[in-house]
Amino acid sequence: MKPEVEIYDTTLRDGSQGEGINFSVADKLRIAEKLDAFGVHYIEGGWPGSNPKDIEFFAQAKKKIFKNAKLAAFGSTRKKNTPVEQDDQVRLLIEAETPVVTIYGKTSMLHVKEVLRCTPEENLAMIGDTVKFLKDHGKFVIYDAEHGFDGYKLDPEYALDTWRAAEKAGADFVVLCDTNGGCLPAEVAAITKVAVGKLNCKVGIHTHDDIGLGVANALASIEAGAVHIQGTVNGYGERTGNCNLTSVIPCVALKLKKSSIPAKSLAKLKELSQFVDEIANLRHNPRQPWVGSAAFAHKGGAHVNAVQKLASSYEHINPELVGNERNILISDLAGRSNIVIKAQELGFKITNDTPELREILDTIKQREHEGFEFEAAEASMALLIEKKLTHKELPFRVDSYEVFVSRSYGNAALCEASVTVSVDQGILDVQVEGKSSRLSKLKANNKAAKSHESKGTGDGPVNALDSALRNALTKFYPQLREVTLTDYKVRILDAVPGLAEKFQAQKKAGNLPASDVADINQAIEKLRGTAAKTRVLIQSTDGQREWGTVGVSENIIEASLQALVDSMEFALLKK
C-alpha cells in the first residue's frame, strides 16, 4: 500500500547547514544507508556541484542500492535570462543520476524584485523551464516553493501563479516552504487548503523551527491536505533548525493515525535518533520529545505511584512503540514507589513492604538536600540501597589521603597523591607520583601487603588520586584494572540558594549596621565562591557496561574521591 504521508529527509543537505554540524562523505553515506533501512521515502543527498564533498557523495551513492528510499539531488531553477540547457547548475543535477531532483524557486514578489531582480514573468519562466527540462530527462521532480507562505500572504495571486507554473511544467509535488519559520499553524493550514484546492498535483510541506512550531506547522499542513513532509533527524538545520522528523513521524503514525514509514520501523526511532547524533558528534538531547531519555521519565512521587498502577495515567503512549523506555528518577521529590521501581530496575528484590524502604527514602532525600544528584549517578544509588539492605559496608574503605600539586618555572605541574585504604586482607599504604611523561613510584608498608612497585600517572590532582586509589586496590581486586573513567563533570552549588543575593539586597538598601558590613561582605564572598559545595559526576566503564557516580563536598578533591570510591565499589558488586 502506498503511504498516506511520505517522509522526505533532508538531514544531509538542510541539516548539515546547522551550527556545529559537519558531515564527511563517509558520514553522509552511513546516514543515508540508515535512513533507507529505516524506511523514509526520499533522501536528499545535497547540492551537486556546490562543493567537492557533495560531488564525491553522489559519485559514491551511484554505487549503492537503496531498498526503500529514492535518492534526491537538490538545486535551484535556472539563472535569469539563461537558457536552461546552458545552465551548469541544472546540468549537474542531471549528471548526479538520482531518480529524484528537487529544485526551489521564488514565490514571494519581494524576493523576485529585490533578490532575483528580474521581472515576475521571467521568474515564472525560470520555474517552468527548469521543471520541464528535468521531466524531459526522466526525473521525478519536486518543486520547493521557497517562502511559500510569506509569498502568499504578500501577493496571493502571484504565489498561486508560481505554483501553477511548476505544476503545468510537470512537477510531481509542489512543496510549500515556511522558509523563515515564522508562520502559525492556522496560517499554514489555511494556505495549504488553498494550494490543495487549486492544484492538481500533490502538495507537500517544508517547515523551519524559528518560533518552535516546525512540527506543529507540518502537522497542520497534513491535516489540511498535504501528503509529503520534509524535515531532518533530530531537527538539525540552519538557525534553530528544521521540522524534527523524530517528532513528526510518530505524530503522523500514532496521533493522526496515517500510514507513513513501515510500522516495524517505528520501534527503531530512538536508535535512529541516537545514531545520527553519534555520527554528528553531538550529545543526544535527553529532552527530545518521543526519543529522549527524559521523554518518559517520572520524578514526582504521586506520578510514579500512578504509573506503577496504570502506565497510561502519565504516559501518552507505551515508550516501547518508539524504541524508548520508562525512566524512574530519584530525588528529594521521590516517593516510596520511585524507590521500589528504581531498585527493581537496578536488580534488587524490593517491594513496598521491605522494612528498609523508609530508611532508604529518607537517606536519599537527605543526600539530595545536601547537593547529591542521583539521576545521572545510578551506581551511587545502587550502592546506597545495597548497604541499607545488607546492613554492612562494602569490601574496602579509604582511611586517609593526601594530594600534592607542585610546579617549578618552565616545567609542567607535578601531581602526587597518596591513599590509605582498609580492605579485608589488611591496610595498604600507596603513594603515587604522576604526570603524563613520568613513571610513578609506589611504596607499600604493611603486614598484610608486601612492598611492590607499580606504574601510575597523574595529569592533574584527580587523575593522580584515581591512580593512587586504583593501585592500592588492584593488588586485592585485579578486576579493577579494567575500570576507566570516561567522563568527569563538576558543578558548583550554592550552599544556601539565594542567600547571597538577599544579603546584597539588604546591604544596598542600607538595612545593615555599618559595623556589620565587613562581616557581611565576607559572608557574601564565602557563599558565592570558595565555600560553595561542589558536585562531581563521574562516568566509568569496564568495557562491558557503563555507570555513573556522584560526590559532594566543599572541597573538589574530596567530592572527586567520593565519586571515585563509589565507582570502584560498584565495579565490585556481583549484581
Can you give the pLDDT of all 575 residues of the chain as single tens digits? 789 999 999 999 999 999 989 899 989 999 999 999 999 999 999 999 778 889 899 999 988 899 999 999 999 999 999 999 999 999 999 999 999 999 999 999 999 999 989 999 999 999 999 999 999 999 999 999 999 999 999 999 999 999 999 999 999 999 999 999 999 999 999 999 999 999 999 999 999 999 999 999 999 999 999 999 999 999 999 999 999 999 999 999 999 999 999 999 999 999 999 899 888 888 788 899 999 887 777 666 666 566 666 667 767 888 889 988 776 655 545 566 677 777 777 778 888 788 888 888 888 778 877 888 776 678 888 888 888 887 777 678 788 888 878 776 667 777 888 888 887 654 444 444 433 222 233 333 334 433 223 333 466 788 888 888 888 888 888 888 888 888 888 878 764 445 555 556 665 666 655 555 555 555 555 555 445 788 888 888 888 888 889 999 888 889 999 899 988 888 887 65
Three state DSSP letters for 42-64? EEEEECCCCCHHHHHHHHHHCCC
Distance between CA atoms of residues 102 and 143, nearest Å:
6
Give residues with Cβ within 8 angstroms of 191, minimum separation 6: 148, 149, 152, 153, 176
> What would the CATH number be for the domain defined by 6-280?
3.20.20.70
CB 467 within 8 Å of CB 555: no
Q: Which residues contact 98 (CB under 8 A, 6 or more apart)?
A: 45, 58, 61, 70, 71, 72, 73, 139
Cell numbers describing residue 103: 529544485
Q: 418: which strand partners?
A: 402, 431
Q: Helical H runs in 137-198?
A: 148-154, 156-168, 185-198
For the chain, what are the domain ranges? 6-280, 297-370, 396-476
What totals of helices (H) and strands (E) does the chain contain, helices first?
19, 16
pLDDT at 501: 57
Predicted confidence at residue 107, as pLDDT, reads 95
Class of residue 409 by CB neighbours under 10 A (exposed 0-12, middle 13-18, buried 19+): exposed
* Residue showing cell 506503577: 308
